[in-house]
């Protein structure tokens, strides 16, 4: 059974990141009391909900997938009650404005809670994820009237939200969207069909607020002619009560590799008289409105990779302690220990990176002056790394979890394979990882000539300098490993920036390796920060054993994981033209 790793989370938030210092001075959080006491309260309650309420649903949802019959979706037993409990506890809008139904807490607390829901049951965690994303888009772009009608209800968990982008002919490229909107007085009529709509229908909340991309009759062609609409499942009366059923219905649910408990729907709009919709933002500006929530959404997808990996790790460790082979528990076998330690080191690296940049997100939103702009550039740069690297590693680690179980991992009854099946979607949705890599190189790196990346490389250099003077020889060795990986990263950054102007195809062919190289380097940087702080704890501290483990984990990462950076660098440096030289008709 899943147990939230609260000790590691609190150490990160209060010791390494030090939220009372980094966020406590922001006006946004002046009355919140950001610091260890708040961290403990939030994590303890989230941990209990994750372990006691959500985690028992993981296998239930897998064995009893969401179904659609006669235009109505049924969800797995227990999901509805848990979703309502999540909403009642204020978790959906944990980081949303207090005057709009939220709790007004820093994003890092929402990040930690989201990891817990995903570690407990990723299919379940998608419901609050989609709702918070819909609320962000409404807050940023909707009229005051629409905000007053919908925002507090979503943030409070009373209503839920969805994103309706994809169609059969419009996926990563939304230009060909065919769903249409027709003007009708103060609203619009929506006609069309959307696919892959996560939590598209259910009865867990009173209403579902669909955000739908559609095209007006006189709209420009392509992505510049798409508008965004609120299309509620039930229309809302002027007094806020629910009115008639809107013409928006589920047609079916997808039969998927994983996340069975999450209803992924085909949604039909306007099969009868047309679904009533309300414009969000300006006409023909819908894609820009949707992108408002992309940074948060992609951070949350990265957390899915972390959460699923943590769940798989806990299950694998428990099995390895119990399973006897050759007269000893298999956890004593060198290769099993290698796999488990690899899982632990990468999970802690991913968590540290994601949590650190969750703080950057708040600084980008609520900071002041040039520092705010710098943090905006930084979070824009980091989001494709967090989404792409954490989900790729998530697939690797959940696969290792199956491997630790041996043959029993291939048997569904153990539940080990579910983590791998569930997390496999994460490198695909919210922009495939190929798109994340291209975004990192083509837009985020190239737009300022690598200046934002250079600033982060400088931060790593500062940590290396601290490691060089550390009293522990093992930390000095970590510093040398990190320095070597950083030097390679500086070189590949410069090479790819130059290639973007001279050999764009082959530069983009190295983008994925660059994203992964960046992730492994930054993960090592974050573990080094943690190790430096842990190494300063007194030997008689109650956390002494925890801190020794933190140092040892960083040492393992430096010796066993950081060398992956060199492999990715080698691919970029030595394999540049091999992709373009390979003929398409040879494939």
Catalytic site positions: 430
Cβ neighbours of residue 323 under 8 Å, at least 6 residues apart? 329, 330, 406
Distance separating alpha carbons of residues 176 and 164, to the nearest angstrom = 14
Distance separating alpha carbons of residues 204 and 213, to the nearest angstrom = 24
Distance separating alpha carbons of residues 318 and 409, to the nearest angstrom = 13
Across 312-420, where does the E strand assignment appear?
A: 324-325, 328-329
Question: In sequence order, what DSSP letters do the residues of 86-111 get, joined into one string?
Answer: HHHTT-TTTTS-GGGTS----HHHHH
Is residue 114 within 8 Å of residue 150, measured between CB atoms? no
| Buried b or exposed e, range 41-72, using 16+ CB within 10 angstroms | ebbeebbebbbebbbebbbbbbebbbebeeee
Token pair belonging to 459: 């931060």
Cβ neighbours of residue 237 under 8 Å, at least 6 residues apart? 243
What's the alpha-carbon Rg for the chain, to the nearest Å? 24
Is residue 125 within 8 Å of residue 304, measured between CB atoms? yes
Across 365-413, where does the E strand assignment appear?
A: none
């Amino acid at each position: 059974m899943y147990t939230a790793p609260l000790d590691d989370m609190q150490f990160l938030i209060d010791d390494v990141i030090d939220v009372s210092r980094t966020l406590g001075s922001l006006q946004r959080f002046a009355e919140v009391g950001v610091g260890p006491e708040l961290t403990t309260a939030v994590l303890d309650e989230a941990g209990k909900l994750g372990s006691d309420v959500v985690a028992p649903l993981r296998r239930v949802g897998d064995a009893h997938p969401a179904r659609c019959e006669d235009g109505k979706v049924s969800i797995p037993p227990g999901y509805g009650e848990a979703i309502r409990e999540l909403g009642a506890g204020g978790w959906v809008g944990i980081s949303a404005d207090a005057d709009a139904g939220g709790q007004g807490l820093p994003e890092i607390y929402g990040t930690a809670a989201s990891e817990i829901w995903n570690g407990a049951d990723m299919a379940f965690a998608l419901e609050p994820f989609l709702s918070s994303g819909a609320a962000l888009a409404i807050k940023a772009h909707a009229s005051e009237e629409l905000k007053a009608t919908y925002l507090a209800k979503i943030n409070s968990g009373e209503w839920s939200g969805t994103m309706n982008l994809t169609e059969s002919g419009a996926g990563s490229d939304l230009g060909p969207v065919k769903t249409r909107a027709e003007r009708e007085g103060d609203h619009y009529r929506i006609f069309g069909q959307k696919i892959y709509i996560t939590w598209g229908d259910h009865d867990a909340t009173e209403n579902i607020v669909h955000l739908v991309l559609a095209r007006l009759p006189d709209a420009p062609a392509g992505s510049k002619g798409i508008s965004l609409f609120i299309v509620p499942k039930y229309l809302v009366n002027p007094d806020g009560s629910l009115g008639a059923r809107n013409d928006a219905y589920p047609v079916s649910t997808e039969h998927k590799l994983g996340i069975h408990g999450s209803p992924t729907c085909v949604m039909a709009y306007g099969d009868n008289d047309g679904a009533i919709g309300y414009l969000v933002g300006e006409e023909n500006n819908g894609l820009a409105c949707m992108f408002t929530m992309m940074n948060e959404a992609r951070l949350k997808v990265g957390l899915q990779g972390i959460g699923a990996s943590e769940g798989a790790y806990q299950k694998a460790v428990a099995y390895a302690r119990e399973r006897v082979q050759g007269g000893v528990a298999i956890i004593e076998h060198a290769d099993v220990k290698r796999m488990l330690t690899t899982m632990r080191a990468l999970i802690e690296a991913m968590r540290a990176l994601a949590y650190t940049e969750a703080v950057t997100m708040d600084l980008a939103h609520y900071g002041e002056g040039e520092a705010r702009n710098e943090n905006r550039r930084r979070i824009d740069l980091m989001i494709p790394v967090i989404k792409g690297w954490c989900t790729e590693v998530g697939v690797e680690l959940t696969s290792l979890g199956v491997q630790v179980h041996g043959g029993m991992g291939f048997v569904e009854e153990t539940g080990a394979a579910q983590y791998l099946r569930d997390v496999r979607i994460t490198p695909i949705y919210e922009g495939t990882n190929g798109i994340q890599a291209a975004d990192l190189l083509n837009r985020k790196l190239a737009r300022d000539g690598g200046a934002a990346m250079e600033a982060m490389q400088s931060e790593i250099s500062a940590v290396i300098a601290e490691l060089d003077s550390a009293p522990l020889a093992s930390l000095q060795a970590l510093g040398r490993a990190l320095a070597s990986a950083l030097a390679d990263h500086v070189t590949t950054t410069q090479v790819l920036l130059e290639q973007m102007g001279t050999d764009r195809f082959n530069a983009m062919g190295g983008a994925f390796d660059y994203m992964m190289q960046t992730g492994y380097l930054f993960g090592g940087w974050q573990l080094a920060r943690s190790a430096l702080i842990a190494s300063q704890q007194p030997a008689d501290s109650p956390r002494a054993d925890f801190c020794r483990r933190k140092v040892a984990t960083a040492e393992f990462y430096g010796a066993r994981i950081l060398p992956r950076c060199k492999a990715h660098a080698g691919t970029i440096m030595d394999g540049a033209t091999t992709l373009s030289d390979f003929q398409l008709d040879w494939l």
